[in-house]
Amino acid sequence: MSIKLVLATQSPYKRQLLARLAHGFATDPSGIDESALEGEKPREQAQRLAESKAREVAPRHPGAWVIGADQLAEFEGRAVGKQPSAEQARATLLAFSKRRLDFHTAACVLTPEGKALTHVDLTVARFRELSHERVERYLELDRPYDCTAAFRAEGAGPLLLNALEATDPTAIIGLPLLWLASVLPLHWQ
């Protein structure tokens, strides 16, 4: 049996999420350049990257439905990516104290005919006043160095928040399942 559903990622978080909806899918990470284009806003960048990932992987899987996804956080108008070290994560999280951080989670489903179905979900994280001790405890518990903005809502992230506002609680983890369930053929669900 040939694989007819492909997730264009190596992210274990996205794989775990898609497994809630679909069985029998393959993963095939894209190798696209994820740099921002000049003047590109984080929401636009996330949407462009999600579609670019799907389009880059699709030729390797003719006849398949291909899902691309990307997530960027936006803080005071600029994109915030992964923070691969404790020092970077600490400084980034402390900057969010008593502030708002927007997460733009984009997904693109390419049909076998090449039609792109796209969606961007917004999740707003409202941070409490953060002390060095609270941030250190969070980093010790979660070690979120592979997560956008060093934040993992499904882990110890609530230690840092006053509120998390979302229409789709799975989007903050990296893949908007409510939207995907509305566009994927039912035989995968």
Question: Which residues participate in catalysis according to the annotation?
Answer: 70
Shortest CA distance to 31 belongs to which of 68, 64, 78, 83?
68
Encode burial over 19-29: b for 16+ CB neighbours within 10 A, e otherwise: eebbeebbbbe
Q: Phi and psi at residue 43, in whole multiples of 5°?
A: -60, -45
At 123, which amino acid appears? T
**What value, to the nearest 5°, has the Cα angle with vertex 92 and ends 88 and 97?**
150
Residue that is written with structure tokens 């994927």 in the block: 184
